[in-house]
Structures are given as structure tokens and as C-alpha cells.
Amino acid sequence: MTAIAVTIAGSDSSGGAGIQADLKTFGALGVYGASVITALTAQNTQGVTAIHDVPADFIAAQIDAVFNDLDIGAVKIGMLSQVPAIKAVAAGLTRHDAENIVLDPVMVATSGDRLLAVVAIAVLCRDLIPRALVVTPNLHEAAALTDLPLARSEAEMEAQARNILALGPRSVLIKGGHGDSAESVDLLVDAKQVIRLVAPRIKTRNTHGTGCTLSSAIAAGLAKGLELTAAAREAKTYVTAAIKAADKLTVGHGHGPLNHFHAYWR
């Protein structure tokens, strides 16, 4: 049976993040990708210049079209900039009994541009986070979700992950990519254990779409039937290799994209 995952996220017109990064990741990892577009962005490697939100009823129509026909093995959720979009997605996932939900709480782009309205954070925490198999915040997003200072140690990362666990998801993967140590350490935390996912920190400015790529890679693993820990390990390995190969691409003048097809492009 064909492994299928759906990404519910915003479009990145420059192709490095959002829906485009997710579909590239699905394809690179052997998974058929479907999509539900929640917002259109005018952006490139240097920043976001405009956001056009997709109406909530059309988001719902896309969800119904996908789930009524395709056998969805996993769901990746990314950019949901406004309250109506969050409510439409939550209702749609409930309507179709969606499973294996990977929620990336996208708040700010790599360029620093805000992608989630402040008033929408509480609704995200109430309506969507409790449905997730795993929530994948970076250090800045974890701090925003917990109303705490930026974590500076693994102990603080774990504490913030446990605060997010209290909102109802089954697990939290808190990403250390924005840290400054020699290693990039992510922590996969659930009620029973903490698993360290470690990779060397790679010096490059080309990190546009890293968070989108990691969460969609986890969803790809789940769609293929992996359990969460194995999917997270596979995703970490894939993203690390895509970052390592990012400088082989020459795309834009700012924070360039990862090399999603590093295993295939020579």
C-alpha cells in the first residue's frame, strides 16, 4: 500500500519552507504527499512581504476532499496564522478521525517575520495541541507556548517540554537548532522518557525551512508505519544531511533552503 501523508500549512513562494518543503520531504523519503493550503505568502530567502489567509470554509473543503478519497497515514500541521484557520483544521481533523498528527507550531519565519497572530496562540493550545501525537517547537516557540524565557540548557528544554505536555499532546520534540553549542540536541519527551537526538551543529546560513522539514520528515516516517521514536531518529538524520548539503545549492541572497534532494542530485 502506498504511504500517504498530508501537510496542512502555508505556501512559501520561494519554495524553501511550508507546503513546498513538506512535499519535497515527503517525496525524498518515499511518501506520497497531499496538501491543504492555509495561507499564501509572498516571501523569499530574505523575508516575508505579504500573507493572504485562505478562508476557513475553503480550508475545510480541502480537508474533506483529501480525507474523503485518500488513505492518510499521517498529518503534518504547519502555519496557521489566524483563529478561523485553527478552528477549521481542528474541526476537520475531528470529522475525519485523523491520526498520527505532527504539529509544528510555526510562529516566526527564519527571517524573523511573525507568521502566527498573538491572539491565536491560546486557540492553538486549546483546540489543536491536545490532538497531536507530537508537537515540535523550536526554542523560541517553546518559550512562547510556556511564557518562559528562552531555554539555555537541556534541563530547561525538558522543563518547557513538560509544560507543553500538560496541554494534552502525547509527546513533545523540542528542537535545539537555535542553540549555540557544538552539538544540535533535540529532546523527545513523553510521560515516561526523554530521548536525546544529537547531531553535529553545521555552520551555514542556509537553514530556511528546517523546522518544516523536520516535522514533515517525522510525518513521513509515521506514514510508512514507523513508531514515533524511530520516525524522529530518521527525520533527524535526514534533516542533518539536508543542512550539510545546503551550501551546494545557490538559491537567493538570504537564508537559503536545505538541500531536500541531496541523495538524488549530483
Q: Is 231 domain-assigned?
A: yes
Annotated active-site residue in 10, 16, 78, 211: 211
The proportion of the chain whose per-residue pLDDT surpasses 70, expressed as a percent, equals 95
125 is catalytic: no
Cβ atoms 163, 180 nearer than 8 A: no
| Domain total in the chain | 1
Q: In what order do the strands lie in the sheet with 101-103?
A: 47-53, 32-44, 4-12, 74-77, 101-103, 134-135, 172-174, 183-189, 194-200
Annotated active-site residue in 45, 210, 213, 240: 210
pLDDT for residue 179 is more than 60:
no
Annotated active-site residue in 25, 175, 221, 236: 175
Q: For 70-219, where are the E strands, in sequence order?
A: 74-77, 101-103, 134-135, 172-174, 183-189, 194-200
204 is catalytic: no
- Grid cell 507546503 is found at 19
Q: Is 260 domain-assigned?
A: no
211 is catalytic: yes
CATH number at residue 35: 3.40.1190.20
Q: What is the pLDDT of residues 77-87, one digit of tens each?
A: 999 988 999 99
Annotated active-site residue in 207, 213, 221, 236: 207
Domain that holds residue 125: 4-248
Q: What is the pLDDT of residues 218-252, one digit of tens each?
A: 999 999 999 999 999 999 999 999 999 999 999 99
Question: C-alpha cell of 129?
Answer: 495541541
Lowest-confidence segment of 16-20, 182-186, 260-264 by average pLDDT: 182-186
162: confidence class by pLDDT, cuts 50, 70, 90: very high
Return the amino acid letter for 226: L
221 is catalytic: no
Q: Is 241 domain-assigned?
A: yes
16 is catalytic: no
Q: Is 20 domain-assigned?
A: yes
Annotated active-site residue in 18, 146, 212, 213: 212
> What values do phi and psi take at 92, rounded to 5?
-65, -40
The confidence score (pLDDT) of residue 109 equals 60
Q: Is 263 domain-assigned?
A: no
Annotated active-site residue in 73, 177, 209, 256: 209
* Structure-model confidence comparison of residues 207 and 81, the more confident one: 207
Contacts of 121 (CB under 8 A, 6+ apart): 107, 144, 145
78 is catalytic: no
Q: Is 196 domain-assigned?
A: yes
